[in-house]
Copies of this chain bind each other. A is one copy, B any other.
Amino acid sequence: MDIVAASGLSWSAVSDHVERLHAEKLIKVSEIGNSSGGRKPKLYAVNRNVGHVISIELGISSGRVAICDFDSNILFSHRCGVHVSEGPDRVLAHLCGRVKDLMARHQVEPHTVMGIGIGIPSPVEFASGLPISPPIMPGWDRYPIRDFWAKHFDCPCYVDNDVNVMALGEHAKGVNFEVDNLIYIKIGAGIGSGIICLGQLYRGENGSAGDIGHFDVGSDVLCWCGNHGCLEAIAGGKALAAKGEALALAGESPFLLDILNAKGGITVKDIRSGLQNLDPVSLKLVRESGMQIGRVVAALANFYNPALISLGGSVSELGDILLASLRQGVYQRSLPLAARNLQINKSVLGKTAGLVGAAFMTIDQLIINSTDNNPETFLPLRQAADLHKAVPNVE
């Protein structure tokens, strides 16, 4: 990518800013390109070894912490059991402990940590990093997460919604073709999405954009939100497990009943095991889920007309049967033009999308904020943030 063309700034302005990033060692010359006449252009890339970034993904009942390089590659990671209902003080202290353990184990010095990025299952006011009216995180509303980390690390901290962070990661480091408009859908216990619009993360007016879990799919099932017929109450992982349990108890699936008797409950993993063992009830449940989600995805495709819909989350791990029935639902209800070039794929990054995305968000913000906030210098540095992805041509 030619930074001059992409940023719309003069060669000298771009050159100044690239020199500054270079002086700060955030980027480095990766190779000398071919000349089309005149001096040979320099090809820049982020300097992955300039320091470390801590990335954290907080789920409802578990967390993941990682130490990444400055190119969003996960160097070391650790999964831990925490539940958001324990409240922010205990959960953050626990995560911080795991981060420090990980650093000690791998001899990562605190002064090498340049930033911390966190994805949480709540809408977030990105500018302040505050969770806003989290529906499933009691005690977290407007909790100052950044202040907590400032007590432990001498570097900036950035917080965003978990699915937004996954969408960022998947767009920047997962998808292996050029795509400007994509919807990343996380199908886990709940169902949510993150929107990339014209190459940038779109957060909406209140940071709540991407909420699709409460689309009305027409059913009598009561959702935790108080409405009936919400998508996630019918097709999310929790719903899938509950249906599996009910059908096991009704004697329809000897396979699931054995598991229920042995373990006292059914999870999405058991349904996956049902698929592998050709349990017809598990197959039916996954097919129905896929079709329901697909019909909602069709509505999104019609409205947003993206190039790609990327599927992540634990339920999306259910494999080809879910993907096929989801696609069937999409093609049944989407308009021919919106579906013509639409790709519907499983996330390339899979389970690591959140950690990679939290690191990417952090590096992106560090590069943006390395300017003096003069709008004149903002653009080329923002452009340089694209260096994560592409190796641009400066001259």
A interface residues with partner B (beta carbon < 8 Å): 4-10, 13, 123, 132-133, 135, 181, 193, 195, 197-198, 202-212, 214-218, 225, 227, 295, 298-300, 302-307, 332-333, 335-338, 340-342, 375-376, 378-379
Q: State A4–B375 Cα separation when bound (angstroms).
A: 8
A205 to B300 Cα, complex, angstroms: 13
A299/B215 in contact, CB under 8 A:
yes
With a cutoff of 8 Å between Cβ atoms, the chain B residues found around residue A376 in the complex are 4, 8-10
Q: What's the least CB distance linking A111 to chain B, in Å?
A: 33
> Does the CB pair B208–A181 fall under 8 Å?
no
Q: Looking across the interface, which residue of chain B has its beta carbon closest to that of A219? A: B218
A333 and B214 in contact, given A205-B307, A209-B305 (Cβ under 8 angstroms):
yes
Q: Are A206 and B303 in contact (CB under 8 A)?
A: no
Whether the Cβ atoms of B338 and A8 lie closer than 8 Å is: no
Q: Closest residue of chain B to A11, judged by CB?
A: B376
Contact of A306 among B204, B212, B295, B304 (CB under 8 A): B204
* A210:B303 contact, CB within 8 angstroms: yes
Q: Is the CB of A214 within 8 A of B335?
A: yes
Supposing A206-B338, A337-B206 touch, asked if A216 and B133 sit within 8 A by C-beta, the answer is no
**Contact across chains for B338 and A208 when beta carbons are under 8 A apart:** yes
Quick check: B305 and A204 within 8 Å, CB to CB? yes
Min distance, Cβ A378 to any Cβ of chain B, angstroms:
6
- A selection of 28 A-B contacts at a CB cut-off of 8 Å is A4-B375, A5-B375, A8-B375, A195-B303, A197-B197, A197-B202, A203-B305, A204-B304, A204-B338, A205-B305, A205-B342, A206-B338, A207-B337, A208-B337, A208-B338, A209-B304, A211-B303, A211-B305, A212-B302, A214-B302, A214-B333, A215-B303, A216-B217, A216-B298, A217-B218, A227-B332, A300-B303, A303-B303
